[in-house]
Structure 1
């Protein structure tokens, strides 16, 4: 346990280095699955590791050891974790739990609000056209979901480009992209070091939808032109202010992150041949997740043995 318990924490520090390669070199759907799984698994493993560190150190305290009928004397002799490290781990764990619960609560409220909004919107074949000169288009999760497009966006795009817009937004709904974003953000809430993974997921779901639109229309160049045209229109005229953060649009998440260049990267990817599955990156990600899972389980087993060892009073 002296080493195994720290491995998930170390892997969490290294994993964000793979976010950009996965999002840029791997087929978008597979990249989304790998990034989401990495954020979720490493976030959970980090919390478990912090919990194990906290317990192995706190059983040194006689008052706490009495609660579990353990021998604090034996714990002070056998425990591999210093009390100071245990206290820090406990504080970090408490913060991680609070952040994860807060994120889950906010996400649940957001999705509930989106579902209510979608249910109240009159739609034709799932499409809602809003009278607004500001160009915008997004998918609103619900039962069923809705594709919301402003008249400004329809006027911006040529009629032959409307099918690309709708194909992109339908991909968000049918593939439940909001769930991938939520799960990746949950892992990042538990361990803030993993935020680059969650950020990458917001990019790969847009790439996934772009590729679906390219497949549906059979013209990658036309899809690239549509994405670029929509981005330029929104840059000239800021888009609608949305009531819910669950919306997924053709432009993806805008703001500081979008300003770093997701739109040019998406356009460049569409003008290039489709990406493959990249076995090396897939194998590396699988190895990291396997190592995190195995070492977490090993550390938990070691804690079990430690608690058995200090269970006898002396």
Structure 2
């Protein structure tokens, strides 16, 4: 069984992270965000499932458990006796990972609730009286766009339209889900930490491109993003915003000032194939554990 642990917990996450680094910027930003987030999420889920399988094996090889369920704990133990540390380590890693994912998920829900508390009412675009220059999207049904009076004063009417189009793109594409998915994957497995930061960048780039199409002028969006980022304070983390999370403002502005480049879709197959392989391998690990317990039951 150890080969499953080695692949899904140790090797595949590192390979997927490397593949995503190579592929992410070769794809259109919207597609890249989906590929990066879902490949990472599948890889993290497979890793956690493998840890669960080995944690169950650690429990199954306890003599008292074997006696209670009618199987040979010795037979279960012998399957990975050459790497006796793996099942025990899996218990600790699983506990730490599940705790980290739970804490991150609760934080996402709390931040989203705080953001939604600012958007009572029916207006799609809500202008709040505030001296801090802010503009961000708050997902929901329906979603809301929040713009402070200070941000409105920093932008021309055309630039404000571009920023609002950018925030609307976040809502239309459901970017907050991809960001949350990537964040959970990153805390689920440390090898995927880069993913969360880059998905943030990719969703901002995708919103930039959608805003440019909506406004009809890439240069206008570039100027609006640059001006908004100079005016905005450090991000509050209440929503996706043109000047906040995802960063790399000079890189985003430079991309908008250049003509759009078509991405090569075949590159997405590399990380997706690696992620799929680790899911399949994890399924085999679960089946191997079942077969091992059946064998141990017959030999008890």
Match of 1:189 in 2: 187
In the TM superposition, residue 197 of structure 1 has moved relative to its aligned partner by: 0.8
- SS of 1:129's equivalent in the other structure is strand
Once residues 253 and 83 of structure 2 are traced to their aligned partners in structure 1, the CA distance between those partners, rounded to angstroms, is 52
- Quick check: 2:71–2:293 contact (8 Å CA) kept in 1? yes
In the TM superposition, residue 204 of structure 1 has moved relative to its aligned partner by: 0.9
In the TM superposition, residue 61 of structure 1 has moved relative to its aligned partner by: 2.5
- Quick check: 1:19–1:196 contact (8 Å CA) kept in 2? no
Corresponding residue to 1:233 among 216, 231, 245: 231
Deviations 1:8-64 (A, max 9, x none): 221112222244444422111111111110221111101111122233344332123
- Quick check: 1:57–1:81 contact (8 Å CA) kept in 2? no
* Aligned residue runs from structure 1 range 177-216, under 5 A: 177-216=175-214
In the TM superposition, residue 133 of structure 1 has moved relative to its aligned partner by: 3.5
Corresponding residue to 2:132 among 131, 134, 141: 134
Aligned residues: 299
Distance 1:219 1:12, change over 3 A: same
Match of 2:118 in 1: 117
Match of 1:282 in 2: 268
Gapped runs of 5+ residues in structure 1? none
In the TM superposition, residue 209 of structure 1 has moved relative to its aligned partner by: 0.6
In the TM superposition, residue 196 of structure 1 has moved relative to its aligned partner by: 0.9
Deviations 1:259-299 (A, max 9, x none): xxx11111121122324342342111221112111111122
Gapped runs of 5+ residues in structure 2? none
Deviations 1:149-170 (A, max 9, x none): 1222222222222221110011
- Quick check: 1:29–1:208 contact (8 Å CA) kept in 2? yes
TM-score when normalising by structure 2? 0.91
- Quick check: 1:50–1:90 contact (8 Å CA) kept in 2? yes
* Aligned residue runs from structure 1 range 214-253, under 5 A: 214-234=212-232, 238=233, 242=236, 245-253=237-245
Residue 302 (str. 1) matches residue 297 (str. 2) = no
In the TM superposition, residue 193 of structure 1 has moved relative to its aligned partner by: 2.2
Distance 1:133 1:72, change over 3 A: closer
In the TM superposition, residue 123 of structure 1 has moved relative to its aligned partner by: 5.5
- SS of 1:3's equivalent in the other structure is helix
Residue 63 (str. 1) matches residue 64 (str. 2) = yes
Task: Provide the aligned C-alpha RMSD in A.
Answer: 2.2
